[in-house]
Amino acid sequence: TRKELPEHFKAYKHVWVAVEIEHGQIHSVSFELLGEGRKLADKRGVELAAVVMGDDRARLEEAAKECFEFGADCVYLACDPALVHYRNETATNVLTDLVNTYKPEILLLGATNLGRDLAGSVATTLKTGLTADSTELEIDEEGSLAATRPTFGGSLLCTIFTLNFRPQMATVRPRVMPMPERDPGRTGRIVEFDPQIVEDDIVTKVLDFIADRDSDKANLPYADIVVAGGLGLGSEENFQLVKRLAEVMGAEYGGSRPLVQKGWITADRQIGQTGKTIRPKLYIAAGISGAIQHRVGVEGADMIVAINTDPKAPIFEFAHLGIVADAVTLLPALTQAFSARLRINRLAS
Amino acid sequence: MHIVVCIKQVPDSAQIRVHPVTNTIMRQGVPTIINPYDLFALEEALRLRDKFGGEVTVLTMGPPTAVESLRKALTFGADRAVLLTDRYFAGSDTLATSFALSMALKKIGAEFGDPAIIFTGKQTIDGDTAQVGPGIAKRLDRNQLTYVSKIVETDLVNRTITVERRAEGGVQVLQSRFPVLITMLEATNEMRRGSVENALKAARAEVVTWNAEAVGIEDLTQCGLRGSPTIVKKVFAPGGRTDEVQLVDNEGNPEARANALIDAIFARSPDVEKDLFDQAAHHF
Ligand SMILES: Cc1cc2nc3c(=O)[nH]c(=O)nc-3n(C[C@H](O)[C@H](O)[C@H](O)COP(=O)(O)OP(=O)(O)OC[C@H]3O[C@@H](n4cnc5c(N)ncnc54)[C@H](O)[C@@H]3O)c2cc1C
Ligand SMILES: Cc1cc2nc3c(=O)[nH]c(=O)nc-3n(C[C@H](O)[C@H](O)[C@H](O)COP(=O)(O)OP(=O)(O)OC[C@H]3O[C@@H](n4cnc5c(N)ncnc54)[C@H](O)[C@@H]3O)c2cc1C
């Protein structure tokens, strides 16, 4: 399967990350990708570049600075009023033009709604390979990108290559890669790119944006502590015990997939393969069996604590700490005990 | 209005098992279903047809047995079913899949009328890439609206469509023009059940069946394994963790056990302990 790379692809060099900026905010996954991209670029002995696009030059220059501090050597900056919001058409055109002009060998994007929409369009336009939702990126002995992703509901992994086409593209979910160290003051060079977009030529218009600012929107992927419940809790009423513990600990709460199906929690609080990937310092799972699809979403946690009545539950195979106990009685006791300790500490200080 | 819905027949993965010794997938006897997101798309399409008139065509690419999924879609009320099947399509990645489907869609347009909307699901539950929808749109040079949770308005006179799209950190309200491709999220609409009358019709219905040649594919190097730039090199089981779980002693009343667990948490991670107390100090 490995042929000599076609002549016209030999000029393709460097590792790129397409940075996600919406409403002035850089999505953290972009920094995680810069961290990973840095390692790949060093291994290949090439540059790491970031692509930023938007309508606000000052903000884009600020974003470029952040990219340098997180490891980029170069930033391709596309500024145009038509790039005020993400739209498939405009973003695909800008990114494909950039790739065709500057020829990167590897192009990484976040596996977010924005990133998947853009990556799928760009890969098809360029007629190259794209590996979805990678969890591991490596350079093999021959210098190709080896992207590993879970398959069959996470029970197996497979490694995918794009050997005979360029760029080699992959998306990575938020929180799968660790956040890199920031190197304040680190700089690089900016390459301006004029996308020359004519707004009238773009068919799709953004009429409105309704931000999820309501406090109930979960930010599970970035929470330091997550408390979650599963079917073992037995009822929606008992699930409130999870919420109460989370509240006392200042944590986010979530659950296994069946709870979404039962309507005990909303879909944005589902943890696992088809829900959110989390990477907290502490994860407490109460009444969750630890099915493989759940496991792949929590394995990045520094500490996994399992509360389960069944000592043979699969979750004990990957938890760090466990207690064989009835969650319905233990959770209120934990809530009590935490709140007592936190209160004592406050009085003492 | 003519609408085409792309559906994929997928294994009912809730029932997929991995062989504990050989780590291979045990596919035998695993039932297949229509990819769940494609059913949301189908429901949306049927609603539009019921409101504005027209026809719904369902299209799938797969082995001849995928005809079952098409018949199922007919029982829900689709008007026409097209099966795209050929051994040359075997082993297609998303680029080759979008190529084959786009060729079939062109032929559908030529034979049965150009579709105003092509629907796909947001992603499948097996390949799970969410790449085929955007791929088809680019191949057919259509406007695309991905991750759509709601169709707000369809204006047939001005040929515009307004949708809500799930974006990062919020919902985008987008307006585009027909013809479009839409990838559907789980919608809030209640899904209809198949009717007995439709089931009878579906059993007898003729499923349009095309191979590569029939949809005008001359360049077979764009199909199947040969037309797929991605190469799966290795399939393996995730490495297990080697350290064993530390079980907290389960003696005493819930209060004693809760405190023992907290001690164990703080012993393993002084960092978490510090965070908690810092946060408590700020909060009260
Ligand atoms: C394609 C696909 C994708 C999926 N994606 C996800 C996903 O993203 N996330 C996800 O979570 N699941 C996912 N699943 C479902 C997954 O396979 C499991 O079915 C699910 O995680 C089980 O949820 P659970 O652990 O809450 O329930 P169960 O498996 O029923 O486990 C309940 C556990 O609670 C314990 N228990 C019972 N009573 C008590 C008590 N009083 N106190 C303490 N413990 C008690 C039991 O011993 C048991 O271990 C997916 C499945 C498929 C097929
Ligand atoms: C475990 C596994 C991992 C894979 N990883 C990759 C990868 O990283 N990159 C890659 O390029 N390919 C990959 N493939 C191949 C890819 O799954 C196939 O090309 C597949 O035919 C289409 O992709 P999908 O299932 O991801 O569809 P998605 O892109 O998730 O599907 C989106 C929608 O497109 C429509 N659709 C998809 N397939 C069909 C069809 N056959 N007929 C009609 N409509 C359809 C449906 O409406 C569906 O809801 C993988 C396959 C497997 C089994």
Domain containing residue B192: CATH number: 3.40.50.620
Indicate whether B196 and B249 sit together in one domain: no
CB-based contact B183:B122 (threshold 8 Å): yes
Residue A251 CA to residue A283 CA, distance in Å, equals 10
Who wins on pLDDT, B176 or B29? B176
Closest by Cα among B10, B216, B206, B220 to B104: B216
Alpha carbon of A230 to ligand 1 centroid (Å) = 6
Residues B1-16 pLDDT 10s: 999 999 999 988 656 6
Which pLDDT score, from 0 to 100, does residue A215 have?
Answer: 46
Indicate whether B212 and B267 sit together in one domain: no
Indicate whether B135 and B211 sit together in one domain: yes
* Phi, then psi, of B246 in degrees rounded to 5: -90, 115
Indicate whether B90 and B172 sit together in one domain: yes
* Phi, then psi, of B85 in degrees rounded to 5: -145, 135
Residue A246 CA to residue B149 CA, distance in Å, equals 30
> Cβ A207–B173 below 8 Å, yes or no?
yes
Domain limit, last residue, from B195, B222, B249: B222
Instruction: Give the C-alpha distances (Å, rounded to integers) separating A36 from A23, A122, A146, B59.
Output: 25, 21, 13, 39
Q: Which two tokens stand for residue A123?
A: 């890969």
Residue A242 CA to residue A235 CA, distance in Å, equals 12
* Phi, then psi, of B234 in degrees rounded to 5: -155, 135
Indicate whether B134 and B248 sit together in one domain: no
Quick check: B167 contacting A, CB < 8 Å? yes
Query: Does the Cβ of A151 fall within 6 Å of ligand 1?
Result: no
Indicate whether B8 and B100 sit together in one domain: yes
Going by their DSSP bridges, the two strands B55-61 and B32-34 should be labelled as unpaired
Select from A155, A303, A341 the Cβ nearest to the Cβ of B18: A155
Query: Does the Cβ of B69 fall within 6 Å of ligand 2?
Result: no
**Structural domains of chain A ordered from first start:** 7-201 (3.40.50.620), 220-348 (3.40.50.1220)
Indicate whether B152 and B259 sit together in one domain: no
The reply to whether omega before B36 is within 30° of 0 (cis) is no
Containing domain of residue B281, as a range?
241-284
Task: Please tell me what DSSP assigns to residue A265.
Answer: S
Instruction: Give the C-alpha distances (Å, rounded to integers) separating B278 from A287, A349, B282.
Output: 29, 11, 6
Q: What pLDDT band is residue B129 in, cutting at 50, 70 and 90?
A: very high
Q: What pLDDT band is residue B243 in, cutting at 50, 70 and 90?
A: confident
Instruction: Outline where chain A has alpha helix (H).
Output: 28-44, 57-69, 88-102, 113-126, 236-249, 257-262, 292-298, 327-348
- Given a cut of 90, whether residue B241 has pLDDT beyond it is no
Domain assignment present for B231: no
The closest ligand to the CA of B58 turns out to be 2
Indicate whether B162 and B30 sit together in one domain: yes
Who wins on pLDDT, B24 or B59? B59
Q: What pLDDT band is residue B125 in, cutting at 50, 70 and 90?
A: confident
Number of domains in chain B: 2
Domain assignment present for B233: no
Atom of ligand 1 nearest to the CA of A231: 26
Residue A108 CA to residue A131 CA, distance in Å, equals 10
Task: Please tell me what DSSP assigns to residue A234.
Answer: -
CB-based contact A180:A35 (threshold 8 Å): yes
Residue A38 CA to residue B69 CA, distance in Å, equals 45
Indicate whether B218 and B245 sit together in one domain: no
Residues B189-201 pLDDT 10s: 777 888 899 999 9
The closest ligand to the CA of B146 turns out to be 2
Q: For A318, what's the count of Cα atoms within 13 Å in the CB-facing half-sphere? A: 22
Q: Which amino acid is at B72?
A: K
The b-or-e profile of A89-108 (16+ CB within 10 A means b, else e) is bbbbbbbbebbeebbbbbbb
Task: Give the burial class of B196: count Cβ atoms within 10 A of its Cβ; 0-12 exposed, 13-18 middle, 19 or more buried.
Answer: exposed
Query: Does the Cβ of B130 fall within 6 Å of ligand 2?
Result: yes
Rg (CA), chain B: 25
Alpha carbon of B237 to ligand 1 centroid (Å) = 21
Query: Does the Cβ of B224 fall within 6 Å of ligand 2?
Result: no
Domain assignment present for B212: yes
Residues A333-348 pLDDT 10s: 999 999 999 887 666 6
Q: Percent of chain B at pLDDT above 70? A: 92
The reply to whether omega before A167 is within 30° of 0 (cis) is yes
Q: Which two tokens stand for residue B252?
A: 């005493």
Which pLDDT score, from 0 to 100, does residue A349 have?
Answer: 54
Rg (CA), chain A: 23
Q: Where are the beta strands (DSSP E) in B124-273?
A: 143-155, 160-167, 170-177, 180-184, 208-210, 231-236, 246-247
Per-position pLDDT tens, chain A of length 349: 566 788 999 999 999 999 999 888 899 999 999 999 999 999 999 999 999 999 999 999 999 999 999 999 999 999 999 999 999 999 999 999 999 999 999 999 999 999 999 999 999 999 999 999 999 999 999 999 999 998 766 667 899 999 999 999 999 988 889 999 999 999 999 999 999 999 999 999 999 998 876 545 668 988 999 999 999 999 999 999 999 999 999 999 999 999 999 999 998 899 998 889 899 999 999 999 999 889 988 988 999 999 999 999 999 999 999 999 999 999 999 999 999 998 876 666 5
- Given a cut of 70, whether residue B17 has pLDDT beyond it is no
The β-bridge partners of B181 are B118, B144
Indicate whether B98 and B53 sit together in one domain: yes
Residue A324: CB atoms within 10 A of its CB come to: 17
Indicate whether B273 and B165 sit together in one domain: no
Which residue in A204, A283, A294, A331 has the most chain B C-beta atoms within 10 A of its own C-beta, making it the best mutation to test that interface? A204
Instruction: Outline where A83-235 has alpha helix (H).
Output: 88-102, 113-126
Query: Does the Cβ of B124 fall within 6 Å of ligand 2?
Result: yes
Indicate whether B64 and B23 sit together in one domain: yes
Domain assignment present for B133: yes
Distance of CA B199 to the CA centre of its chain: 24
Q: What residue owns the CA closest to ligand 1's atom 39?
A: A232
In chain A, whose CA is at the least distance from the CA of B247?
Answer: A322
Which contacts qualify for B254-260: CB closer than 8 Å, 24 or more apart? B254/A325, B254/A329, B254/A330, B254/A332, B254/A333, B255/A333, B255/A336, B255/A337, B257/A323, B257/A325, B257/A330, B257/A333, B258/A330, B258/A333, B258/A334, B258/A336, B258/A337, B259/A337
Domain assignment present for B232: no
> Cβ B173–A124 below 8 Å, yes or no?
no
Q: Per mean pLDDT, which range of A196-210, B130-144, B231-245, B256-270 is the poorest?
A: B231-245
Domain assignment present for B228: no
**DSSP result, B84-131:** E--GGGTT--HHHHHHHHHHHHHHHHHHH---SEEEEES--SSS----
Spell out which residues of chain A touch residue B283, defining contact as CB-CB under 8 Å: 250
> Cβ A121–B138 below 8 Å, yes or no?
yes
Domain assignment present for B173: yes
Q: For residue A117, give how far its alpha carbon lies from the nearest alpha carbon of chain B (Å).
A: 6
Atom of ligand 2 nearest to the CA of A151: 1
Domain assignment present for B236: no
Residues B148-162 pLDDT 10s: 999 999 999 999 999
> Cβ A317–B235 below 8 Å, yes or no?
no
